[in-house]
Amino acid sequence: MQTPGHLLGMPRRFLFYYTIARINSPDTCIFIRMSTSEKLHFKHRLKAYAINLISQRIATARAAMAHAQQAANSEEKSSAGDKYETGRAMGHLEKDMHARQLASAMAELATLSAIDVQTLYNTVAAGAVIHTRTAIFFMAAGLGRQRVNGQDVFFLSPSAPLAVLLLQKEAGAHFPFNGTTATILDVY
């Protein structure tokens, strides 16, 4: 099936048509051909998507921290002092939980920001996109499976067990994935 590049989120200036192969199911498809500039643009879009998602998590964690602090501060002292102290303690615990989530998201954003998407790799490394027959992986941040431009992409943290297993592998290499043996079709 031929699909115009702009329908897949690529700029209109790429009038190149992708050949998309449907393999095993209507929901599974891979890019067969992409030019160098299209590969770089795809990597840039994946990184931008990940930065946006992590930024949303940071904003959510900050808002939740502020809400928890406000709830702890607004807890009124009653005649039952223990109830007051328990309510305040619960508010502080909630704030601490959101603070840990915020710190984790900030660290992940810093790691992601350092990822180079202007380089095309021959072997799997941080910042690489890996295509198999059934999946696309982006080794940059541990965001799990995300739907980007109609494609499922697995965002892997470079320190994740699967990412460590994939490190330094080239196109044609095999690795275990979801109970089967997957073959790397392309790395860039």
Q: Which pLDDT tens digit goes with each residue over 47-69?
A: 999 999 999 999 999 998 888 88
**Whether pLDDT at 18 is above 50:** no
Return the beta strands (E) in 46-140 as ranges. 129-132, 136-139
pLDDT tier at 70, thresholds 50, 70, 90: confident
Q: Which pLDDT tens digit goes with each residue over 30-51?
A: 445 789 999 999 999 999 999 9
**Whether pLDDT at 12 is above 70:** no
Which tops the pLDDT comparison, 76 or 107? 107
Domain ranges within the chain, ordered by starting residue: 52-113
Task: Give the position of tokens 């990940």.
Answer: 50
Half-sphere exposure (Cβ direction) of 72: Cα atoms closer than 13 Å: 17
Q: What angle do CA 158, 147, 164 make, to 5 degrees?
A: 15
Q: Which pLDDT tens digit goes with each residue over 128-142?
A: 999 999 899 999 999
Contact (Cβ atoms closer than 8 angstroms) between residue 155 and residue 141: yes
Whole-model pTM? 0.74
How far, in Å, CA of 173 to CA of 147, rounded? 25
**What's the pLDDT at 33?**
75
